[in-house]
Structure 1
């Protein structure tokens, strides 16, 4: 039952707005820039991450979703904060309020995707001060929070 849980729920409720749990990872390079993925569904930038499958923890979902979105194997270093005011309307008409746990993660293997996938069109590291068009306000808030945390906790 855990695989395709969201697809099953959407099959029952259609485009009715629903609340979904998500996890996102802050991946930093050696310049303390943040990794973002260009989303295939909305064509704007977001943190690597996504929906929890049934039975999964936020941390497990973060590790799985960062791998799917970026190609990187990561380990969770720290849970930074929970964000619960995100709303997303997808091009197919689905609407969701997302409750997201944001994690600082560290790459431990894998490699950045070199080809487009059904979820990721591109990957790029950005300065916290020079960001592209982002998915939604919650994504902006998460990256702003992480940028402040990085400045306070890393010798920049």
Structure 2
């Protein structure tokens, strides 16, 4: 897909807020017919711009109220270690994000767990799967802003 226009951006903004919105409702908001909206959404899906449509869940109601950021340092940087690390973290559903970092930190992991005991279980499982030089953790006391919406309608 080439460049996207303002209508595409408005469609994307609406879908990020509610992917289950009907095509009729979406069309009313962006000023297009149901079919024109569908064609644009289909084109954005086919191009990979829209990667998937998901349902966001309340982690507290699922007993996953503790967010932890694990700061990882390692002395191993070989491709086989990275492959093992990737495989280990991909296979742990509590881990929501893994990022290779610049600076003093090698990797940052974002995870959701029930409590400290659940974090310890996750930590123990991770270090059994792959050798790590140093792991420290920070626990979220308050979520001030948490969103999955990308700023497609930029306010400059």
Q: Is the radius of gyration larger for structure 1 or structure 2?
A: 2
TM-score, normalised relative to structure 2: 0.26
Please identify which structure carries the higher strand content. Answer: 1
TM-score, normalised relative to structure 1: 0.26
Please identify which structure carries the higher helix content. Answer: 2
